[in-house]
């Protein structure tokens, strides 16, 4: 069973940047597809970005050009670099490990989830 631990959240002013990290253990990381989701208060958990085992990346439209997902297989870690942050990016950000190569924008494609890290963007 995979364990995922996010870190790097915090409070930042609008226009600022944060880098989230997700350390994975318990499964062979190299061949797993990984994703980031976020959930704002009162909202559904939504897709942010995903990276496949082969390095292919996918982004939600509203994050394209601002967020970058990457992975370091040697460290069993996936990252989310977030630039030009907006107050509407305020949410709990979750890392997840997928069990499929398809529909990586869907929560149902993921089996293992981290506990989340809070990102707050002030205006």
Q: What is the spatial distance between Cα 15 and Cα 17, in angstroms, rounded to a whole number?
A: 7
pLDDT in tens, 10-30: 999 999 999 999 999 877 777
The alpha-helical segments, DSSP class H, found in 31-91 are none
Token duo for residue 84: 């030009």
Q: How far is CA 101 from the centre of its chain?
A: 17
Please report which confidence band the pLDDT of residue 2 belongs to, taking 50, 70 and 90 as the band edges. Answer: confident
Residue 113: the pLDDT is: 97
Strand 18-25 relative to strand 77-82: parallel, antiparallel, unpaired? Answer: antiparallel
pLDDT in tens, 29-52: 778 999 999 999 999 999 999 999
Q: What is the spatial distance between Cα 67 and Cα 83, in angstroms, rounded to a whole number?
A: 6
Residue 31: the pLDDT is: 84
Q: What is the spatial distance between Cα 54 and Cα 37, in angstroms, rounded to a whole number?
A: 20
């Amino acid at each position: 069973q995979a364990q995922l631990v996010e870190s790097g959240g915090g409070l930042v002013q609008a226009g600022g940047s944060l880098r989230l990290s997700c350390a994975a253990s318990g499964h062979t990381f190299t061949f797993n597809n990984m994703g980031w989701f976020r959930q704002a208060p009162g909202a559904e958990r939504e897709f942010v970005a995903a990276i496949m085992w082969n390095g292919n990346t996918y982004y939600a439209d509203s994050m394209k050009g601002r967020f970058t997902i990457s992975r370091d297989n040697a460290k069993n870690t996936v990252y989310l670099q977030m630039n030009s942050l907006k107050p509407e990016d305020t949410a709990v950000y979750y890392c997840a490990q997928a069990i499929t190569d398809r529909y990586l924008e869907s929560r149902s494609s993921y089996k293992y989830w981290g506990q989340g890290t809070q990102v707050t963007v002030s205006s």
